[in-house]
Structure 1
Amino acid sequence: MTVEMIDYDSEPVPKELCSIDRHGGADDFHGCGACFESENPLSCEECVINKIFKHYAELTGQRMKRQFPVLFSTPKKKSDAIPWEVIAPHEEQAHINHGQSLERLAERGGLSYREMYAVLRNKKFDYENGNKYSDIQYELEVLRIIKSFYLVN
C-alpha cells in the first residue's frame, strides 16, 4: 500500500491529512503540529516529520518539483502551475511588473498566463493595451517558453 502524497506549501504531505480545494490541490494540512508543540518551535525544514515525508515521497516516486501557480480569471476544474525553476530566473522582472516577490505572488494565487508571459520574456507588463492574444494563446506561448527552457538546460 502506498500513501498518496500531495504538494502543500511546496512540500510533500500525505493527501489524507489535507483538506482539498476546488481545484484538487491541498487547501490545508492537518498534520503533526510538532513544530508548534515543542518549547523551541522548529521551521518545517528542521522538522524530522517533514524530512520523513520528503524521503517517503522520493522513495515512492512522488516527489514533486516546486510549482508556481497560474491565476485564472474564471475557475477551472484543476489548477495549473509551471515549474518554479522556469520562472525563478525572472524574479527581478516579476518585482518590476508587480511590486512583489515570486514567493508573495505565489501566496496570492500566482500570475495569469498573460502576466507570466511578460515576466518570462523580461518585458514590462502592459496594463493599458489589453490582450494581444486570447488567453489560450498566452498559455501556449508560456508552454513554448517552458519547452525552450528544458531544451537549453
Structure 2
Amino acid sequence: MVILLMGIAGAGKTTIGRQLAAALGWPFCDGDAYHSPANIDKLSRGIPLTDEDRGPWLARIHAAIREWVTRRESVVLACSVLKASYRRAVLDGHRDQVRIVYLKADRRLLQQRLAQRTGHFMGEALLASQCEILEEPADALVVDAGEPATAIVGQIRAALDV
C-alpha cells in the first residue's frame, strides 16, 4: 500500500509523513525530491509552477508509485498534488493500491507555519497560488492539519487500519 499525504505547503506533509512512516516501519518519500532543478529554482524565487512545469514531476512520481506497487512495497509519500488532474496523473492505473490522506488546514495556520519555516524552497510567497489551484479531493481521508502530529498519525492509522 502507498499512503499519499497531500495538501498545501505548510500543512505538515513531511512532518506527518516521517512520523507515520516511522510508526509503520515503512520508508518515507518526499514528492519534492522528484522536482527538477529548474522547478526548485522557480519555487525558491517565489514563482508558481505551471501545469507544463509540473508534467515531468508528476510523471516521475507516477513512475515511483508504479514501481512500489509492482514490487508490493509499502511507502508513505508526501506530495502536494493539489488538483484532481494531478492526482489522476500520479495514480493512473494504481488507484486501488494508494490511499490518499488530505491534510486540510486553514490559510492562517498555513501562513503561520510557512513564516516560521527555514531551509525549504517553498515559502510563504507561494501560498496564494497554491490556495487558488486547490481542488479538495472527494475520495480521501480528510484530517485536520491543525491537530498535534501524534494525533494525526493515530487518526490515519485507525482510519486506514495500518
User: By the TM > 0.5 criterion, same fold?
Assistant: no
Q: Which has the higher contact order (CA 8 A, sep 6+)?
A: 2
Structure with greater helix percent? 2
Could you tell me the TM-score, scaled by structure 1's length? 0.30
Could you tell me the TM-score, scaled by structure 2's length? 0.29
